[in-house]
Chains A and B, each alone.
Chain A
Amino acid sequence: MTELATTSEALALHKQFCEDVMSMPGGEKIKICQQCGTCTGSCPTSYLMDWGPREIIAAFRAGMIDRVVKSNTIWLCTSCYSCTVRCPAGIKITDLMYELKRLAIKYDLAPKDGKAPAMTKYFVDSVHKHGRNHEVELMTKFMLTKDWGLPFKFAGTGLKLFTAGRLPLFAKNIKGKDELDKISAYLDAQEAKAQ
């Protein structure tokens, strides 16, 4: 993982993160978080987190970007949206977690051995390649790079799924799969122009 060596580097990054988060629809609401902790209390995975979502918001506002991106918190968000629908300040916390994941990947701050960042990447790769997510390809790639033990742990169920025809080996490509690349390329160009 990249170390944020100097304070000026950390400050610049904090500024960048703030700008990015504020540019999201509703992103500015993070300013009115009153630290009530409803998000952490509602979170099904907070018991596994270094810091709960409430603390991540506090750390983010305090400019402690290191703590935000190096914690396991953002990668344990399962997108259940419990926090989002309950937040009394109307902060879209699930969207914030997505944005922080994106920034961690973009600035190369995500844990290198992390399974969740890899899963995200392989998912997107599979969709861009075929137009749809090919589950078997995704799982195979994930196993080969991140979890060699998976086939053994999952052998019994995997075999049953396979015989039930629930694990097709070959991917089908959609006709318009190139459109997805073009859509991303357009958005890349727009983002580059804005910076």
Chain B
Amino acid sequence: MRYLYYPGCSSEATGKAYDISTRALMGKLGVELVELDDWNCCGATSYFSVRELDSFAIAARNLAIAEQQGDEDLCVICNACYTTLAKTNRYMADSPEVFEAVNGALGAVDRSYSGQKPVRHIMDVLINDIGLEALGEKVTHRLTGLKVACYYGCQYSRPMGAFDDTEFPVTMDQFFQALGAETVDFPGRVKCCGGMMMLTKEQGALRLCQELLKGAQDAGADVIVCACPLCEMNVEGYQPRVNKTFGTNFDIPVMYFTQLAGLAFGADPKQLAIDKQIVSCDRVVAAIPA
């Protein structure tokens, strides 16, 4: 099994652990990831506010390169990158004007794009290409007894809804259940962390994070798992700020879902960059049977 792989900008900085643990996890599962050549930023949400077509065109540069590089699907880890790239495909398919404008812009740099490269979220690949049954069979360290709050975040299934429901996604819960964990009924599963608002309107974002953390704590979660670097940064990195602002004392480990899954498939905590987390995950690691 082989995929082209788009790590995204956060994977070079605050979200490094997501990239490192993805490579380790997929290695354990025998999936080959070939990094996309000279990829650029997907444009995230900021580019849409500059000009919608700029956003589609710079996202499409990546897709044009992917098309040239190989026939494999493009696997993406960050929710926001996934949505931006997949949305580009959808708008190019829905609107001949967008298709033409994007290809005009790509033509200015001697590129072109058919609009056809499948963009796949890593969870989509895990659940639908490998499959829950096969995943369950490959587990070497079952996550028995571990209570996991699956935090899907906004752009996991919104607005695309390509591989899971937009209102009540379940794939991440199914994935961790297959790995032997108990997934808690986490009310914040698709609620917003505040995203970039953490820098531009801190109090507002902190309140959203406080609600998320309280939801996970009330549900009895041992750990929150994320599929987006911005969710992870806000819910983990800002726990001290949340505590200071609201007089709470949250101390909840937050991991990329690939880090926790990597442990279940026998990867070493170091290989999964678990030491890069701000809130110590030692309790989680210790709870997994050797």
Binding site for B on A (CB under 8 A): 24-25, 44-45, 48, 75-76, 78-82, 84-85, 92, 94-95, 98-99, 101-102, 105, 115-116, 119-120, 123-124, 127, 131-136, 139, 142, 147, 150, 153-154, 156-157, 160-161, 164-168, 172, 174-177, 179-180, 182-187, 190-191
B159, A135: Cβ atoms under 8 Å? no
A105 to B49, CA, bound (A): 9
A131 to B272, CA, bound (A): 27
Given contacts A44-B192, A174-B38, contact A132 B104 (CB under 8 A): no
B159, A94: Cβ atoms under 8 Å? yes
How extensive is the interface on chain B, given as a class?
35 or more
A177, B154: Cβ atoms under 8 Å? no
B159, A25: Cβ atoms under 8 Å? no
What is the 8 Å Cβ interface bit string for chain B, positions 8-46, against chain A (1 contact, 0 not)?
011011111100000000000000000000111101111
A76 to B205, CA, bound (A): 10
Task: Choose one: A131, A161, A180, A187; the contact of B14 (CB below 8 Å).
Answer: A161
CB of A65 to closest CB in B, whole Å: 17
Given contacts A45-B197, A79-B155, A85-B158, contact A131 B41 (CB under 8 A): yes
Q: Using CB atoms, name the residue of chain A closest to B193.
A: A78
Q: Using CB atoms, name the residue of chain A closest to B154.
A: A80
CB of B15 to closest CB in A, whole Å: 8
Task: Choose one: A76, A154, A167; the contact of B13 (CB below 8 Å).
Answer: A167
Contacts of B16 in A (CB 8 A): 165-166
Contacts of A84 in B (CB 8 A): 158-159
CB of B7 to closest CB in A, whole Å: 10
Of A147, A154, A166, which is in contact with the most chain B CB atoms at under 10 Å from its CB?
A166
A156 to B278, CA, bound (A): 10
Given contacts A25-B98, A183-B108, A186-B108, contact A135 B10 (CB under 8 A): yes
A189 to B61, CA, bound (A): 19
Of B46, B109, B192, B201, which is in contact with the most chain A CB atoms at under 10 Å from its CB?
B46
Contacts of B166 in A (CB 8 A): 85
Residues from 71 to 104 in B contacting A, C-beta threshold 8 Å? 80, 83, 91, 94-95, 97-98, 101, 104
A120, B49: Cβ atoms under 8 Å? yes
CB of B60 to closest CB in A, whole Å: 9
Instruction: Enumerate 17 A-B pairs (CB-CB under 8 Å) in ascending A order.
Output: A25-B91, A25-B98, A45-B201, A45-B208, A95-B48, A116-B196, A116-B197, A133-B44, A134-B13, A147-B199, A154-B241, A161-B14, A161-B278, A164-B275, A166-B15, A167-B13, A187-B53
Whether B105 sits at the interface, judged by CB under 8 Å, is: yes
CB of A59 to closest CB in B, whole Å: 19
A124, B276: Cβ atoms under 8 Å? no
Given contacts A25-B94, A157-B240, A190-B104, contact A123 B44 (CB under 8 A): yes
CB of A41 to closest CB in B, whole Å: 14
Task: Choose one: A75, A79, A102; the contact of B195 (CB below 8 Å).
Answer: A79
Contacts of A157 in B (CB 8 A): 237-238, 240-241, 278
B41, A133: Cβ atoms under 8 Å? yes
**How many residue pairs at the A-B interface have CB separations less than 8 Å?**
189
Binding site for A on B (CB under 8 A): 9-10, 12-17, 38-41, 43-54, 57-58, 61, 80, 83, 91, 94-95, 97-98, 101, 104-109, 111, 154-155, 158-159, 161, 166-167, 191-192, 194-197, 199-202, 204, 208, 237-238, 240-241, 275-278
A132, B40: Cβ atoms under 8 Å? yes
Task: Choose one: B40, B240, B276; the contact of A174 (CB below 8 Å).
Answer: B40
A86 to B161, CA, bound (A): 12
CB of B82 to closest CB in A, whole Å: 13
Contacts of A139 in B (CB 8 A): 199
CB of B107 to closest CB in A, whole Å: 8
